[in-house]
Amino acid sequence: MSVPMRCIPAVLACIAMAGLAAAGCTGSSAPVNEPAGQDAMTISIAPRLDGGDKVSSIDVAMTLPAPGLKEGDTFLSMAIVRVMAPSALSDPNSLTASDSLGTIAMRIEEDPEDPSDFRQDRRWILERDTAGTVEVRYKLAPRVITPSTRPGPLIDTRTELWGVYGSGNTMLALPVAGWPRTVRVDWNLDDMPAGARAASSLGLGNVEAEVTQQNLNNTFFMAGPLKSQPESGEGEFVVYWMTPAAFDLEGAAAWTQQAYAYFVDFFGQDVDAFRVFMRTTERFQGGGGGGYNSFIFGTVEGEDRDPAEVRSLLAHEAIHHFVGGYGDGGGAGGQQWYSEGATSYYTIVLPHRAGLTSLEDYIEAFNAHALNYYTNPQSGLSNEEVTRLFFSDSNAQLVPYNRGPLYFALLDYRMRQSTEGRQRVDDLIFRFIDERDSADDPVAFWREVLTDALGEAEGAAFDAMMAGAPLGLPADLFGPCFEGEMQTLSNFARGFRPYEDENGRTRIGPVTPGSPADAAGLQRFDIIANPDALEAAEDAPPGSPVMLEIERDDEKRSVEYVPWTKPAQGQQWTRTEIPAEDCSL
């Protein structure tokens, strides 16, 4: 039996009623709370429209009370590029610093160019001692987006309507010393139309918080015709956006707020408010990404979306807030087996335990992960290889999102069997969260957690999983309510993401190496003259070929290929007749 299920992990894919009015500040200035403390560093952000209908620049001013730095000290650092996103500071020499003695001379030092575009930084080094309070000023330029702009993490600085958004990673030149510290964010919206509001990961309008440098770099900023749920823009769970969505964002936000309350109780953590930002673009430019007590996700203007997919995305990122990670994180940290694996597992399990999803939703989500796991040609990669290829191979990038949750489901199965249902994988993850920060080697500590609970055999099983060995999922993995069956599986694999260029023509985005599209000779920027055929292919029986009419360099050609993975044997689970109350999920 061939099963044509198509599911992209929620975090790689990601609500507003048009009539919802922006609440709070009704003038052109952001709300003003208490003045900054005497020792607080102040960051002023002033978007400038310069008489136009879009933000053309952003003035940033930073006041740092008496840092007491010496000649030769590294004063500031800022990204040149961070995970494919360029800095919004186009001219580093335009950044100036001054104190009671006047202008402070600084020299600039830059990292060597990173061929992977993962990380390259710039630093400003003092050429004299500082005297008293230091003021730093610079101007940012929003990124210019074209149809060929490569999708990537949503941390670049862009315009939307007459507003703007960005992240600290691409907006802020920050001191390298003195963290954590109290930071005051002040918004100047005087150049924006009446009704403008601003928010950040730290809160609505002007806010003050004690943060680390990493916290600020991972803070999202948004200003303009800001809408929010709740309308006040304040609360323990808030969603912000500017462009009205073509789907039920309001409903998804309300659902996620219920789920978030359950997550807080489940993990028992004393957490700060969580804020979600939605950015809207003309074409696909990335899925979503986590920040400091926050999350941003992208959507395409006018594009309808499956409500379940949006809810899953928001739940996934909210759970990241609790599960966390370790080390450097990201593709360079090699910790996605845990951070994405545990988060993807709980994205299915916790909403169901909270009564927000059905049994059918539960098993459909795990079946989708299993389908992707069995049909992904890179599922046998070791964790080390996944880390190495994370930003260059889309199939490798998917491994932690599918192998990970199945690994944790298997571990839960073994915990239930070993303890006759008294303990779950939850107990292991709780201990890991509580103690990982004090561990010299978090991976070795996780192995210790496993062996303490289940013996050396479980430690060996973990080693095998990290080396890429098959998981060996049993038919009764999900308890008595579901029964597994080996099936022949095939997954739709277009091999690229199509997009529309400035002339409305459908073009091919980056082609996945080794995919059927790659083997057929399709290339990035090829024009697809019959895009309807590509859309119909996804609804065709698995293994069906598609004929694309391609235009390249003013030449026309027909290319036939099979946009499906090779058939593979794998488990899929169906509902048994056991009553729901006996499922023990």
Copy the structure tokens of residue 255.
């659902």
478 and 360 both lie in a single domain = yes
127 and 238 both lie in a single domain = no
Contact, 335 vs 439, CB < 8 A?
A: no
pLDDT at 271: 74
Q: Supply the CATH number for residue 526's domain.
A: 2.30.42.10
Domain span at residue 39 reads: 32-221
Q: Supply the CATH number for residue 74's domain.
A: 2.60.40.3650
pLDDT at 284: 72
* Residue 305 resides in a domain: yes
Closest CA to 268 of 431, 134, 137: 431
Q: What is the 3-state secondary structure (H, E, C) of 331-351?
A: HHHCCHHHHHHHHHHHHHHHH
61 and 204 both lie in a single domain = yes
539, with CB counted inside 10 A (0-12, 13-18, 19+), is exposed
Query: Is the pTM value of this prediction over 0.75?
Result: yes
Our measurement of the distance from residue 361's CA atom to the centroid of its chain's CA atoms, rounded to an integer in Å, reads 23
- CB atoms inside a 10 Å sphere around CB 335: 23
Contact, 170 vs 164, CB < 8 A?
A: no
Cα(135)–Cα(217) distance, integer angstroms: 19
304 and 217 both lie in a single domain = no
* Residue 391 resides in a domain: yes
How does DSSP assign 353-367, residue by residue?
A: HTTSS-HHHHHHHHH
62 and 177 both lie in a single domain = yes
* Residue 292 resides in a domain: yes
262 and 312 both lie in a single domain = yes
- CB atoms inside a 10 Å sphere around CB 270: 5
230 and 309 both lie in a single domain = yes
Contact, 391 vs 153, CB < 8 A?
A: no
Question: For the chain (length 585 residues), average pLDDT per consecutive 10?
Answer: 41 32 32 56 97 96 96 97 92 95 97 88 97 97 84 90 97 97 98 97 97 96 96 93 94 93 92 90 77 91 90 92 78 82 98 97 98 96 93 88 98 96 97 95 97 97 98 96 96 90 87 90 95 91 95 94 95 96 91
180 and 297 both lie in a single domain = no
- Split into its structural domains, the chain has a count of 4
Closest CA to 569 of 2, 82, 160: 2
427 and 474 both lie in a single domain = yes
Contact, 241 vs 225, CB < 8 A?
A: no
Cα(499)–Cα(496) distance, integer angstroms: 10
Give the bridge partners for 46, in sequence order: 59
213 and 245 both lie in a single domain = no
14 and 101 both lie in a single domain = no
Q: Supply the CATH number for residue 239's domain.
A: 3.30.2010
Our measurement of the distance from residue 338's CA atom to the centroid of its chain's CA atoms, rounded to an integer in Å, reads 15
Mark which of 164, 190, 221 sits at the end of a domain: 221
Cα-Cα-Cα-Cα torsion 50, 51, 54, 59, nearest 10 degrees, comes to 20
3 state SS of 413: helix
How does DSSP assign 460-509, residue by residue?
A: HHHHHHHTT------TTTT-TTEEEEEEEE--B--SS-EEE-TTS-EEE-
Cα(499)–Cα(117) distance, integer angstroms: 23
Mark which of 178, 206, 221 sits at the end of a domain: 221
* Residue 582 resides in a domain: no
* Residue 425 resides in a domain: yes
Peptide bond between residue 230 and the one before it cis (omega within 30 degrees of 0): yes
Residues in the chain, overall count: 585
Cα(363)–Cα(357) distance, integer angstroms: 10
How does DSSP assign 158-177, residue by residue?
A: EEETTEEEEEHHHH--EESS
* Residue 265 resides in a domain: yes
* Residue 27 resides in a domain: no
Contact, 358 vs 365, CB < 8 A?
A: no
Question: What CA–CA distances, in Å, run from 60 to 31, 44, 46, 141, 145?
Answer: 18, 6, 6, 11, 22
Q: What residue has token string 């459908």?
A: 506
Peptide bond between residue 180 and the one before it cis (omega within 30 degrees of 0): yes
Mark which of 272, 305, 323 sits at the end of a domain: 323
* Residue 212 resides in a domain: yes
292 and 367 both lie in a single domain = no
Closest CA to 193 of 26, 45, 61: 26
